[in-house]
Chain A
Amino acid sequence: MTSNSSRIIGAVEIGTGKVAVLVGEISRGRSLNIIGVGVAPSRGVMKGEVVDYKAACEATHHALEMAEKRAGARIEEVWLAQTGGHLDGFYNEASVNVKSADNTVTALDIASVCDLAKEKELPAGRSRIHEIRRPFRLDGRAVPDAEHLSGQRLEVGYWIVHGHEGKVSDNIHVVGGYHLEVRELVLSSLANGSLLTTAEERQHGVLVINLGKGISDYVLYRDGHVLVTGTLPVGGDHLTNDLSIGLRVTTAQAEMLKLRHGRATVQTRDKSEKVWLNGDASFGDKQFSKNAIEAVAAARTQELLAVIKQKLGSAFAPEHCGAGVILTGGTSKLPGIDEVTANVFGVNARRGESPSWVKDELKDPMFSTVLGIFQFGLRGAHEHALPPRRKTGFLSNLTKIFASS
């Protein structure tokens, strides 16, 4: 049973490898109680994008149903994680002269400069996902809130994340197929960053990389603010694929070898050391060089991290990333990956750990995105300028029912 002041929200991640759903009861918009979990192997999704609507629906709806059953409650709205190679971002800034005679910044000045900074046209077929504001600058000095301060020139910049409208729609419609409304869309990288970093780390500068099965996404914080977000359509699947080609085994067998013997660094120097494919002495079981497996996995991992560093470009500077790199996602379980990451980026690297309020059974990296969605959404209620809410209530729901029929 839920009280009137609480909402039942489903945090959903439709990933390439799995669909994860957490059901949370949010009371008075502040306290979160996770009451249900649903995980299902993903189907119909490649690199974070829906390629088979029916299969994606089946997998997602199965996870939703499981989570609802475990929660013993019906999900009222969905906060959906968004990732995919189609996502892109750009930085745009604007400035205005403070209008009042005494040079005091008013709400009107702030609204004007914000509107100007967000005004940049997107290419056709693109939809805005997030507009992330950086601190205001008043006559060159950074200020978190410029209202009532004195100055002549007010500047602000926005990191605008946008995606292919059709691909975003596909994700939303998969949830809509379960007769649920997506109330918030949260970038996976932001969700992970929100969960795995502290305010202090964000202030010192930190890079969070989520190494998924088909997609890797990242967010770089500096001075407490999001500097850059990005996605890379490369993930753990590529390691599997390379192993499959290099060792001439099926993808499933390569995946098994990766999970059992894969490493991000080459530790086995003895090239003659062999490992069994199945290890059960069954018919058709084969032996492979452990060194070869490690070499393939390490090369691919290093390449993946190097590409991320390259994409970050000048935005990433070790001296501005005091808190180092935090890794999450399924591929971050690869032994030695923190070592390689540290080498590539030249800063400390570690696997992300969920905060202490997360229950032990949810501390697996596969839940970090869905947990992060809640964290981001809840913190957003206090820290961020909230987006205008969609109309809710009986009449609105009624209208939607009629509209959908």
Chain B
Amino acid sequence: MSSTESNSMSAAGRSWRDIRQEVTPLAMSRKGRSRRRLEWFKVTALFVLLGAGGWGIYTLVHSWETDRAALATAVHSEPVRDIALITDGVLTKKWAAGILALPKTASLMSLDLEALRNKLLENGQVRVAVLTRHFPDTLVLSLQERTPVARLQASDGNGPARQLFVSREGVVYDGINYGSSLVASLPWLAGIRLVKAPAHGFEPITGMEDVSALLSMAQLEAPQLYRTWQIVSLDRLEARDEILVKARDIAEIVFTRKRDFRKQIAELDYVVDRVHVLPDPALLSVNLAIEGQVPVRMRNTPEELAKLPDSTFSPQSPQQRKSKRDL
């Protein structure tokens, strides 16, 4: 079949497409007029809907930006009667209620969850906070807390020194509801300079990740040693990559973050075990920062040291050391 074209682009003459098709309402049939009215109605309805939608969005945005409480009243909700707390730590509902300090008449919808969340996060003990409305009247708080790895004493210059806790990320915070045994088990942190944060609290302590790794490793691998650790100093961390620990019976243990902490702790354990054969062992320092040797300083007299078996500090395989310890 031939190609056909019937367009208005013809080079010469008018095409039927140039004929004006619209007819006046008078020339329309009843049905045609009603179709036309329906189309008008549809268009008008569409405009009204678009207008209403636009106005609604404008009002909503305006209220959100200027008066959220007014927006909240548009939605019926009950005053907050309960706060439900879900946490993986030690914080309590009472503490949360105190921090949030919700007005008694505040309705669930009127709460500014973002602001409340920020209030909770101001406390360094709270790592993650998620607030949800549970209709009709319950505010649900889901918290993830930080775990302390060390503690420190600090004073802001105006008041007495207070005890603060340090998390493994280096966040410094006032610990709440920690048990006394947990607190007592934490070593003190020294050799640091706390810097006030612009908003509140202190800037995180740099290098704490390494210190936390050492403390965790000691707690796990040699708990009997970890229990004796009293002070952990970061004094030489930045300059020499060394972490100094003062234990109950050893004045200075030098760790380095350049070597595997597990190996250093094993060496320390070995040294302590060997030295305990002495009648009155007194280690002044153990330096674990040197690869291949462990310089030890002792207060014992040469006579006392002479009583040590020859193999006391001779190298032994880890298996040998372990079997001895187990025995």
Q: Do A and B bind each other?
A: yes
Contact A127 B7 (CB under 8 A): no
Whether A202 touches B1, Cβ cut-off 8 Å, given contacts A176-B21, A388-B7, is yes
Contact B11 A128 (CB under 8 A): no
How far is the CB of A298 from the nearest CB of chain B, in Å? 34
Closest B residue to A61 by beta carbon equals B29
Contact B40 A226 (CB under 8 A): no
Partner of A172, one of B11, B19, B33: B19
A126 contacts partner chain B, Cβ-Cβ < 8 Å? yes
Q: State the CA gap A190–B14 with chains docked (Å).
A: 21
**Which of A36-44, A178-186, A313-321 lies on the face that meets chain B?**
A178-186
Contact A131 B4 (CB under 8 A): yes
A271 contacts partner chain B, Cβ-Cβ < 8 Å? no
Chain A CB count within 10 A is highest, among B15, B21, B40, for B21
Contact B13 A177 (CB under 8 A): no
Contact with B along A211-241 (1 / 0, CB 8 A): 0000000000100111000000000000000
Closest B residue to A128 by beta carbon equals B15
Contact with B along A296-324 (1 / 0, CB 8 A): 00000000000000000000000000000
Q: State the CA gap A45–B24 with chains docked (Å).
A: 21
Contact B23 A173 (CB under 8 A): yes
In the complex, what residues of B have CB within 8 A of residue A176's CB? Answer: 21-23, 27-28, 32
Contact A181 B21 (CB under 8 A): yes
A403 contacts partner chain B, Cβ-Cβ < 8 Å? yes
Q: State the CA gap A178–B35 with chains docked (Å).
A: 7
How far is the CB of B11 from the nearest CB of chain A, in Å? 4
**Which of the four size classes fits the interface of chain B?**
35 or more
Inter-chain contact total with CB atoms closer than 8 Å:
144
Q: State the CA gap A173–B20 with chains docked (Å).
A: 9
Q: State the CA gap A292–B184 with chains docked (Å).
A: 131
Contact A385 B5 (CB under 8 A): yes
In the complex, what residues of A have CB within 8 A of residue B43's CB? Answer: 398, 401
B18 contacts partner chain A, Cβ-Cβ < 8 Å? yes
Contact with A along B1-13 (1 / 0, CB 8 A): 1111111111111
Contact B12 A119 (CB under 8 A): yes
In the complex, what residues of B have CB within 8 A of residue A182's CB? Answer: 21
Contact A127 B15 (CB under 8 A): yes
Contact A383 B36 (CB under 8 A): no
Partner of A178, one of B2, B4, B31, B40: B31
In the complex, what residues of A have CB within 8 A of residue B29's CB? Answer: 57-58, 61, 177-178
Closest B residue to A116 by beta carbon equals B11
Chain B CB count within 10 A is highest, among A128, A135, A199, A390, for A128
Contact B12 A173 (CB under 8 A): no
A379 contacts partner chain B, Cβ-Cβ < 8 Å? yes
Contact A224 B39 (CB under 8 A): no
Contact B28 A127 (CB under 8 A): no
Partner of B16, one of A159, A172, A226, A403: A172
How far is the CB of A346 from the nearest CB of chain B, in Å? 25
B162 contacts partner chain A, Cβ-Cβ < 8 Å? no
B17 contacts partner chain A, Cβ-Cβ < 8 Å? yes
In the complex, what residues of B have CB within 8 A of residue A361's CB? Answer: none
How far is the CB of B232 from the nearest CB of chain A, in Å? 70
Q: State the CA gap A126–B19 with chains docked (Å).
A: 11
How far is the CB of B16 from the nearest CB of chain A, in Å? 5
A280 contacts partner chain B, Cβ-Cβ < 8 Å? no
Contact A165 B5 (CB under 8 A): no
How far is the CB of A201 from the nearest CB of chain B, in Å? 11
Whether A401 touches B5, Cβ cut-off 8 Å, given contacts A61-B29, A115-B11, A128-B10, is no
Contact B16 A168 (CB under 8 A): yes
Partner of A131, one of B5, B19, B25, B36: B5
How far is the CB of B53 from the nearest CB of chain A, in Å? 16
How far is the CB of A301 from the nearest CB of chain B, in Å? 29
Partner of A132, one of B3, B17, B28: B3
Q: State the CA gap A172–B33 with chains docked (Å).
A: 16
How far is the CB of B59 from the nearest CB of chain A, in Å? 26
How far is the CB of B9 from the nearest CB of chain A, in Å? 7
Closest B residue to A58 by beta carbon equals B29
Contact B16 A53 (CB under 8 A): no
A384 contacts partner chain B, Cβ-Cβ < 8 Å? yes
Whether A177 touches B6, Cβ cut-off 8 Å, given contacts A120-B12, A185-B16, is no
Contact A179 B3 (CB under 8 A): no
Contact A194 B1 (CB under 8 A): yes
Closest B residue to A144 by beta carbon equals B3
A363 contacts partner chain B, Cβ-Cβ < 8 Å? no
Whether A132 touches B4, Cβ cut-off 8 Å, given contacts A118-B11, A172-B16, is yes
CB within 8 Å of B: which of A159-178?
Answer: 159, 162-163, 165, 168-169, 172-173, 176-178
A393 contacts partner chain B, Cβ-Cβ < 8 Å? no
How far is the CB of A81 from the nearest CB of chain B, in Å? 13
In the complex, what residues of A have CB within 8 A of residue B23's CB? Answer: 173, 176-177, 404
Contact with A along B40-75 (1 / 0, CB 8 A): 100100000000000000000000000000000000
A380 contacts partner chain B, Cβ-Cβ < 8 Å? yes
Closest B residue to A383 by beta carbon equals B1
Contact A127 B14 (CB under 8 A): yes
Closest A residue to B13 by beta carbon equals A122
Closest B residue to A53 by beta carbon equals B27
Q: State the CA gap A259–B36 with chains docked (Å).
A: 41
A258 contacts partner chain B, Cβ-Cβ < 8 Å? no
Contact A118 B14 (CB under 8 A): no
Contact with A along B190-215 (1 / 0, CB 8 A): 00000000000000000000000000
Contact B12 A121 (CB under 8 A): yes
What are 20 A-B residue pairs whose CB atoms fall within 8 Å in the complex?
A: A121-B13, A126-B13, A129-B16, A130-B4, A130-B6, A162-B13, A172-B21, A178-B32, A185-B6, A194-B1, A221-B1, A225-B2, A226-B4, A383-B1, A383-B3, A384-B2, A384-B5, A388-B9, A401-B40, A404-B24
| A-B residue pairs, 3 tightest by C-beta | A122-B13, A404-B22, A179-B35
11 other A-B residue contacts (CB within 8 Å) besides A127-B19, A387-B7, A405-B25: A61-B29, A64-B31, A118-B12, A127-B13, A128-B13, A129-B16, A132-B2, A163-B16, A173-B27, A179-B28, A384-B1
